[in-house]
Chain A
């Protein structure tokens, strides 16, 4: 889930880390390897399909880890730790109910349509099911959002690097931008994905020691929960405590808005229709691998919550006033603060590398999905049609340069007007919702007419924004926190999109049944008929088993946090 809580903000100067030559060597080696992957992946780029979708040829473990990594950007890591320091164990909802069911749904239900129809992007799927207006609107919205989110990442990186390492902001923006530009322009999606997989392991190597030492410092898990119960109340370390409808809790949401707003609308919107995620699965080598991509990602996702939540909770114990006027430290400083307090040189270098890698991967995921949508869905479809394939590879490289430059521009803009960023981030937190409603109605209701896609998308987008920026911000209805308002806006966007689609469909002609093959639930496309590759029929590779296993495991994880 895009982290709505992460607000890039100036970090306190006393967070400067005592880095030495060893830490910088570790960081330097990482940057060299990142570039090396770009150069080495370059020779695999021959067609536009290689550049934009890795030739649909990657194994499931790579696409699965890239799927999780594209989401595990540094804004997510710092933001979720902040969330935990502020709201406590409620953070688990963003993972167990706010991610796993949607990821399993993507793998089991939607992937046969996505992968089997051989579309190259999420908007292209809308072109097949609806019409060019839905396609143009969704492509344009996505391309615009991807660039701005990449810019947000870059700006957030610059602030963290300035505080931790003392580099001026513009140096960090230019260096990180240049590296991302270099490796994506060279190797395309393959090099973005390979770097994401690498980043996944470096992040684990950074966060695990931090959690171990943090827990040791506060007397283990029991010491942690005891201290938090004393200072923050008993609900702080439970998942559902205080979420009854009408009762007050720090999150400002009740169980219904958590389950429907976060667990259903926001989560399904992000995980099943955000192309930066889905693209990883579309690059898998066959349908079985594509289905397993989000399912393989689901297992680490269930446990990653501990790696981001524990530092947040530990920081709430060590600095009880964190995030309030009684302390210089803000919620976002939880992880940098623990890094500074606990990690010796060496592991500190790994942690800094992990954070920078996560920032770059978060940016790269958006850039690599942006260039695909812009080239295939906008430029190649409506502007310069029917040129030879090599032209589109060249154009893809060119638009990557332009996209990264625009992100760098956004980052510089943000560093002058930082409240623009918090505004934008809120906007994106429910950005995928209208996409999702259009998808889900189009996929399960064959009567949904080709015109309804565009109007549903437009109505959903507008009403979610109106609900958040007018009705909530102007205080017309009373929702205690921004988080709670996010959930409600998402539900409003979903409902408005669905209602408008139904009304428009009833007044316009349905799409002929023969054109719906492979696009609507219950029909099949030729791509779905592909026989499983050798070895893919093994029991541990069966999507249904993997998927339901993840759902059961996530549900079981709730048990110790529910009483």
Chain B
């Protein structure tokens, strides 16, 4: 009962080594797009859509919502959240990856952010 460190002596040292190696080759830190742009963009768009719906709501729709122009208020709230994320991105841009981790950009590696919009 002494050879119980896992199959073929698998131990924490092996995990440390394996994962450290993989982490050095990993591309996420250098290549992943900034999520703040997506949240900001989507919420500005939703905010405008819902807010404009609120401006054109009929009395029947406002009555349904207990006399509150809920579309207008929700739209405004979403718009502000969207602007918050875009402003945060502007003020604190994505930090460039550590110099030793920068991959050579290949052809077709244009910034992915626009693709999702």
- The chain A residues found within 8 Å of chain B, CB to CB, are 22, 25-26, 29-30, 33, 36-37, 39-41, 43-50, 54-58, 62, 117-120, 124, 127-128, 131-132, 135, 190, 194, 197-198, 201, 205, 208-209, 212-213, 216-217, 285, 341-347, 349-350, 381-382, 389, 450-451, 508-509, 511-512, 515, 517-519, 525-527
Contacts and interface: CB of A to CB of B under 8 A. Distances in A.
Given A39-B116, A190-B32, A50 B27 contact: yes
Interface residues of B, number: 57
Contacts, number: 196
A54 B65 contact: no
Contacts of A127: 6, 10
Nearest to B61: A344
A217 B67 CA distance: 10
Nearest to A120: B19
A517 B15 CA distance: 13
Contact of A56 (B23, B35, B57, B116): B23
Given A43-B112, A44-B32, A212-B70, A55 B23 contact: yes
A515 B31 contact: no
Given A49-B23, A212-B70, A346-B53, A118 B113 contact: no
Given A36-B116, A131-B6, A209-B73, A55 B29 contact: yes
Nearest to A59: B35
Interface of B: 1-2, 4-7, 10-12, 15-16, 19-20, 22-23, 25-33, 35, 38-39, 42-43, 45-46, 49-50, 53-54, 57, 61-62, 64-68, 70-71, 73-75, 77-78, 81, 109, 112-113, 115-117
B39 A198 contact: yes
B16 A526 contact: yes
A527 B16 contact: yes
A40 B116 contact: yes
A475 to B, nearest CB: 43
Contacts of B78: 205, 350
B26 A46 contact: yes
A117 B16 CA distance: 7
A526 B12 CA distance: 10
B22 A48 contact: yes
Nearest to A518: B12
B25 A47 contact: yes
B5 A37 contact: no
A22 B49 contact: yes
B71 A57 contact: no
B6 A216 contact: no
Contact of A451 (B1, B22, B35, B64): B1
Contacts of A212: 68, 70
Contact of A22 (B4, B32, B53): B53
Contacts of B70: 209, 212-213, 342-344, 347
A131 B22 contact: no
A198 B25 contact: no
A344 B57 CA distance: 9
A563 B50 CA distance: 41
Contacts of B16: 117-118, 525-527
B29 A57 contact: yes
Nearest to B81: A201
Contacts of B32: 41, 44, 54, 57-58, 190
B19 A49 contact: yes
Tell me which of B42, B64, B70, B115 has the highest count of chain A C-beta atoms within 10 A of its own C-beta: B70
B12 A128 contact: yes
A55 B71 CA distance: 40
B15 A117 contact: yes
B39 A201 contact: yes
B75 to A, nearest CB: 7
Given A344-B61, A450-B4, A50 B116 contact: no
Nearest to A450: B4
A118 B20 CA distance: 8
Contact of B15 (A118, A198, A205, A389): A118
User: Which of B1, B6, B57, B75: most chain A Cβ within 10 A?
Assistant: B6
A124 B14 CA distance: 12
B49 A216 contact: no
Contacts of B109: 43
Contacts of B27: 43-47, 50, 55
A525 B115 CA distance: 42
Nearest to B56: A346
A21 B2 CA distance: 68
Contacts of A198: 35, 38-39, 42
Contacts of A201: 39, 43, 81
A246 B56 CA distance: 58
28 contacts: A22-B53, A26-B49, A36-B115, A36-B117, A39-B116, A40-B112, A40-B113, A46-B31, A49-B22, A55-B26, A57-B32, A58-B32, A120-B15, A194-B35, A205-B74, A205-B78, A213-B66, A344-B62, A344-B64, A346-B71, A347-B65, A350-B74, A382-B7, A450-B1, A511-B5, A512-B2, A515-B11, A518-B12
Nearest to B71: A346
Given A39-B116, A194-B35, A342-B66, A55 B28 contact: yes
Contacts of A40: 33, 112-113, 115-116
